[in-house]
Amino acid sequence: MSFAALASSRAMADPQPLGPLLNTPDFDRLAPEWRRVGLRPYRKGGVKLDIDPGADTVQARKVLIYNYGHGGAGITLAWGCADQVKDFVDTALRTRLQKPPKQTRVAVVGAGVIGLATAAELKRWAPDLTVTVMAENVDAAGNPMPQSTTSWIAGGQFEPSALWREYQDCDHPCKMDILHDLVRRSHRRIQQIKALGIQGDYGIADRTNYILANEDDEGFALGMPRDVVPAAQTGLLPFAKLATVAGKAYATWLINPTILLPRLVSDLRAASVRFEKRKLRTRAELIAIDADIIINCTGLGAAKILPGTGLTPIRGQLVVLQNTDKLDYLFSGGCGNKSAYMFCRQDDIVIGGTFDYTANLSGLTDKSYLTMRDRVKDIFSGNVSACNSTPSNGACHP
């Protein structure tokens, strides 16, 4: 047996703690607004990210670009998809439109994380472009209201959660390369922001993510390229009541949307981007927008504007705790089919992981929120028996 293999077999036989013990949150310390709920814009086939080939757009001398359907991974993919849109715009300017950026008007429809990041990346690439962001959640005075979007609700873990399954195509193994490319592009932007030392302004923080060893971590294992986040380490979990429980740890990032979204709005204002209150109802209305390039970043709203989007709302609830001890780790991939996660953010701690195929936001009881909270509390009090792994239903193998 080689030295490396011997060392690895010893590590498995004699697992070491994954680090010094970390504090457990006070699960009874609920934040003032402790119940949150949102609808993930899940799309069969993955993110709709391309240029519309319709004859009506060519006739109108317009370019219509789509960027919607990010499911539970929009915070993760926003910069990557924005970078891809920038490439589409670059090509359109040089070919179909044959115009310089200075003479080009772009309308970005949608002011969630996808619309804001798309507008911001376009202005960073070509400051001469005239960019307007249009959305329902802009007030009459032109002030965007990011608090009213799904993006605001997101926990903010950097991982292509659940959506990665749409890229797992056994007949077309390269499809995962498309997702990996988008993750890499987002990662590149994170690194640029970090190099400038302004990551805190964008809600970005380094985080270690801990999971139970026998949990389904395919989202990380398959959806995250290893050059972005290296393989997980195995060992004993560094929490008092879990200190004999086998787990895994890997480095990733938190991108807190409650910090990121206002920052993107202020970047756009500083770059002279105008916000306009506008509700689009049909494809014809979209194409009629007075701009050369129209980018549809309306999330779930796209299903009301266009036929056949493949969008499905998936409801997720969050319980918010106070983070008085400034805890700074993530715990996710817990509880098998009763998925559970907990993200310690800059100012709060969010517990989530519910995955309900419904668009109904009303009628959620306090009990349903507190049950989620108690599930994670249970894990952290050492009761992991309810959290044994269940087989993934998205795998290609039987």
Ligand X SMILES: Cc1cc2nc3c(=O)[nH]c(=O)nc-3n(C[C@H](O)[C@H](O)[C@H](O)COP(=O)(O)OP(=O)(O)OC[C@H]3O[C@@H](n4cnc5c(N)ncnc54)[C@H](O)[C@@H]3O)c2cc1C
User: Which residues contribute to the site for ligand X (CB under 6 A)?
Assistant: 38, 40-41, 68, 70-76, 109-115, 135-137, 149-151, 153-157, 278-280, 297-301, 304-305, 316, 318, 352
In whole angstroms, how close is the CB of 236 to ligand X at the nearest point? Answer: 26
Q: In this complex, which beta carbon is closest to ligand X, that of residue 93 or of residue 372?
A: 372
Q: In this complex, which beta carbon is closest to ligand X, that of residue 96 or of residue 277?
A: 277
In whole angstroms, how close is the CB of 278 to ligand X at the nearest point? Answer: 6
DSSP codes of every residue in 250-263:
EEEEEE-HHHHHHH
Of 122, 228, 251, 120, whose CA–CA distance to 181 is shortest? 228
In whole angstroms, how close is the CB of 82 to ligand X at the nearest point? Answer: 11
Q: How many CA atoms lie within 13 A of 78 on its CB side?
A: 32
Query: Which runs of E-coded beta strand occur in 110-174?
Result: 130-135
Q: In this complex, which beta carbon is closest to ligand X, that of residue 109 or of residue 379?
A: 109
Of 149, 88, 150, whose CA–CA distance to 122 is shortest? 88
In whole angstroms, how close is the CB of 225 to ligand X at the nearest point? Answer: 16
Q: In this complex, which beta carbon is closest to ligand X, that of residue 212 or of residue 320?
A: 320
Contacts of residue 36, defined as CB under 8 A and 6 or more positions apart, other chains included, come to 153, 317, 318, 319, 320, 350
Q: In this complex, which beta carbon is closest to ligand X, that of residue 99 or of residue 283?
A: 283
Q: In this complex, which beta carbon is closest to ligand X, that of residue 57 or of residue 258?
A: 258
Other beta carbons less than 10 A from residue 53's beta carbon: 8
Position closest to ligand X via CB: 301
Q: How close are the terminal C-alpha atoms of the chain, in Å?
A: 33
Distance separating alpha carbons of residues 196 and 20, to the nearest angstrom = 30
Q: In this complex, which beta carbon is closest to ligand X, that of residue 93 or of residue 211?
A: 211
In whole angstroms, how close is the CB of 302 to ligand X at the nearest point? Answer: 7
In whole angstroms, how close is the CB of 5 to ligand X at the nearest point? Answer: 37
Contacts of residue 232, defined as CB under 8 A and 6 or more positions apart, other chains included, come to 211, 217, 220, 248, 249, 250
In whole angstroms, how close is the CB of 349 to ligand X at the nearest point? Answer: 13
Contacts of residue 24, defined as CB under 8 A and 6 or more positions apart, other chains included, come to 239, 240, 241, 380
